[in-house]
Amino acid sequence: HVQLVESGGDSVQAGGSLRLSCAASKFTSSTYCMGWFRQAPGKEREGVASIDSEGRARYADSVKGRFTISQDKAKNTLYLQMNSLKPEDTAMYYCAANPFWTYGAVCSYTRPADFGYWGQGTQVTVS
């Protein structure tokens, strides 16, 4: 059973930075796909970024150039570095994992149904 625990959410002023972390239980497979998603009040969940075990990352246009997804395999931790934050980035941020991803398959935040494991979320508020 995969467990994901997010942390790092906070209240910041516009233009500020935050780094979110997602601690994951160790996957049984060396290949996986992980992603960050967010949901603002009254809005649908949207994908933010994704990364596969090979380190290939994808970003939503709304965060490209401002957010960076990364991973520390030794610590089983996923990160989301968020810079130049805007009020519209305010949302609950969720980490998600697809531990059954295989090399050659699509790993993308645009395919939330592929992610079978989700964390509880961490709140980011930008004012």
Cβ-contact 22, 6 below 8 angstroms = yes
For residue range 53-71, list pLDDT tens digits in order: 999 999 999 999 999 999 9
* Tokens encoding 74: 């030794």
* Confidence class for position 28, pLDDT limits 50, 70, 90: confident
Q: How far is CA 35 from CA 13, 116, 127, in A?
A: 25, 11, 25
Residue 95 reports pLDDT greater than 80:
yes
Percentage of the residues of the chain whose pLDDT score is greater than 70: 100
pLDDT at residue number 45: 97
Q: What is the pLDDT of residue 8?
A: 98
Write down the pLDDT at residue 122. 98
Q: How far apart are CA 64 and CA 82, in angstroms?
A: 10
**Predicted local distance difference test score (pLDDT) of residue 26:** 79
CA neighbor of 38 nearest in space, from 6, 70, 2: 6
Q: How many CB atoms lie within 10 A of CB 43?
A: 9
Is the pLDDT confidence value at 92 over 90? Answer: yes
In the predicted structure, residue 83 carries a pLDDT above the cut 90: yes
Cα–Cα distance between 76 and 24 in angstroms, integer? 5
Percent of the chain with pLDDT over 90: 92
Q: What are phi and psi of 79, to 5 degrees?
A: -125, 155
What's the pLDDT at 30? 86
Residues 86 and 126 sit within 8 Å (Cβ to Cβ): yes
Closest alpha carbon to 29 in 73, 80, 78: 73
